[in-house]
A and B are shown apart, each in its own frame.
Chain A
Amino acid sequence: AQSVAQPEDQVNVAEGNPLTVKCTYSVSGNPYLFWYVQYPNRGLQFLLKYITGDNLVKGSYGFEAEFNKSQTSFHLKKPSALVSDSALYFCAVRDKAPKGYGGSQGNLIFGKGTKLSVKP
């Protein structure tokens, strides 16, 4: 079965420092990978996705993620953290599609989430 793991419940970073939020995946076939962010009392917002192509994917708010096939990882990164980046971050992978549907039509499977705290 497809799955993702976020090994850190919480990441603490000082403002201005680079940040990394880790995600590893397990899939059969080619992975469709996503990152979402959730601010307090809000729904999840899409940050970026990897379907195919360049291993470095650029997304919203200055975030990027690096797809590493050999390490089965899709870590989220930002060169310089802001206090306003403090939020919950979720990695997701697309599940296999049900019978009769194409490969891009499976549901997303979300990781458990990582709380990012950026201190001034």
Chain B
Amino acid sequence: EADIYQTPRYLVIGTGKKITLECSQTMGHDKMYWYQQDPGMELHLIHYSYGVNSTEKGDLSSESTVSRIRTEHFPLTLESARPSHTSQYLCASSEFGYGYTFGSGTRLTVV
């Protein structure tokens, strides 16, 4: 049913490694988002994009970066992973004026 895909679903990686979390959607949505979700449930917006070549930082400061070269693709990169980056990362997309469609998430563990 999901038209937004996140890979990998689970990732365990060592400190200092560079990682890229992939997010792709097939719905042609202009807006895309990355959220970080605490173990205690709360969602924090870390990045969003209004379209190709548009990226903005969200409410929660993050050491990650994003890019939007194609409408359907919105990858998130951590240049040097740390244990404090351990979290679940959720990607979402939307048409202007409508609700969000979420991917299944990537659960990242940095050891």
The chain A residues found within 8 Å of chain B, CB to CB, are 34, 36, 41-46, 49, 88, 90, 101-102, 104-105, 107-108, 110, 112-113, 115
Q: Is B107 an interface residue (CB 8 A)?
A: yes
CA–CA, A45 and B103, complex, Å: 9
- Looking at B33, B58, B100, the one whose CB has the most chain A CB atoms below 10 A away is B100
Cβ-neighbour of A105 out of B4, B41, B97, B103 (below 8 A): B97
Choose, from B11-19, B42-50, B61-69, B76-84, the stretch at the interface: B42-50
CB distance from A43 to the nearest CB of B (A): 3
CB distance from B50 to the nearest CB of A (A): 8
The answer to whether A44 touches B90, judged by C-beta atoms less than 8 angstroms apart, is yes
The answer to whether A43 touches B99, judged by C-beta atoms less than 8 angstroms apart, is no
Closest chain A residue, CB of each to CB of B4:
A43
Q: Is B55 an interface residue (CB 8 A)?
A: no
CB distance from B18 to the nearest CB of A (A): 25
CB distance from B56 to the nearest CB of A (A): 9
- Looking at A41, A43, A49, the one whose CB has the most chain B CB atoms below 10 A away is A43
Cβ-neighbour of A46 out of B6, B33, B100, B107 (below 8 A): B100
Total A-B pairs, Cβ < 8 A: 51
A112-B48 contact, Cβ under 8 Å, with A46-B99, A107-B33: no
The chain B residues found within 8 Å of chain A, CB to CB, are 2, 4, 6, 33, 41-43, 45, 48, 58, 90-92, 96-97, 99-105, 107
The answer to whether A41 touches B42, judged by C-beta atoms less than 8 angstroms apart, is no
A43-B41 contact, Cβ under 8 Å, with A105-B97, A107-B48, A108-B100: no
CA–CA, A45 and B104, complex, Å: 10
The answer to whether A43 touches B105, judged by C-beta atoms less than 8 angstroms apart, is yes
Q: Which A residues are CB-close (under 8 A) to B90?
A: 43-44
Cβ-closest 6 pairs across A and B = A43-B102, A104-B97, A113-B41, A44-B102, A110-B43, A105-B96
Further 20 A-B residue pairs, CB within 8 A, beyond A43-B104, A105-B97, A115-B41: A41-B105, A43-B2, A43-B91, A43-B92, A43-B103, A43-B105, A44-B92, A44-B100, A44-B102, A45-B102, A46-B99, A49-B99, A101-B96, A102-B96, A105-B96, A107-B48, A107-B58, A108-B100, A112-B41, A113-B42
